[in-house]
């Protein structure tokens, strides 16, 4: 058994706000999901060792673009969409109902075309503008992330999280 420090062990989750024609893709989580069942969110998922371990390293010791590769995989798996032009929004930590701490890196990307095809973890989807997003039962913080991105797309300035 590998020894590890419980204070340093986390899941790492990458989410992606997908943008098309000035609207944002939101999707409803299945009722059986452990965290936030039945709530609206954006595509995302956990980093897995298999996301990099069997791939060639980009330098002698490192793999690069790990977050970007995770969000590309998750967008494809969860929505069937290909994404491009990936950028950073914010990051956070929360403790899941089962006690596992999760670091979440929130990214955004464009998806200029393609039909949404949800996997079984998601039950519905909508393309929404910022006003429509406000009236959705989004997981806490998602609306604020949409506001950060909406402001960036309109002004070119990334403001970051503010309470």
Q: What is the pLDDT of residues 7-61, one digit of tens each?
A: 888 899 999 999 999 999 999 999 998 888 999 999 999 999 999 999 999 999 9
Nearest alpha carbon to residue 47 among 5, 10, 83, 19: 10
Query: Within 10 Å of residue 152's Cβ, how many Cβ atoms?
Result: 16
Question: What pTM does this model have?
Answer: 0.92
Query: Going by C-beta distance under 8 Å and a sequence separation of 6 or more, which residues neighbour residue 131?
Result: none
| Domain covering 9-155 in this structure, CATH number | 3.90.79.10
The ranges assigned to domains in the chain are 9-155
């Amino acid at each position: 058994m590998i020894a590890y420090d419980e204070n340093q062990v986390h899941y790492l989750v990458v989410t992606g706000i997908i943008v098309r024609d000035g609207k944002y893709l939101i999707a409803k989580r299945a009722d059986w999901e452990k965290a936030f069942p039945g709530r609206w969110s954006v595509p995302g998922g956990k980093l897995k060792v298999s996301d990099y371990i069997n791939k060639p390293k980009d330098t002698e010791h490192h793999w690069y673009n790990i977050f970007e590769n995770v969000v590309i995989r998750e967008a494809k798996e969860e929505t069937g969409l290909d994404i491009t032009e990936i950028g950073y929004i914010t990051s956070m930590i929360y403790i899941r109902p089962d006690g596992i701490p999760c670091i979440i890196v929130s990214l955004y990307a464009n998806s200029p075309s393609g039909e949404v095809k949800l996997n079984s973890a998601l039950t519905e989807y909508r393309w929404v503008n910022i006003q429509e997003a406000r009236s959705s039962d989004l997981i806490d913080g998602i609306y604020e992330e949409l506001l950060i991105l909406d402001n960036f797309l309109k002004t070119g300035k990334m403001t970051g999280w503010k309470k």
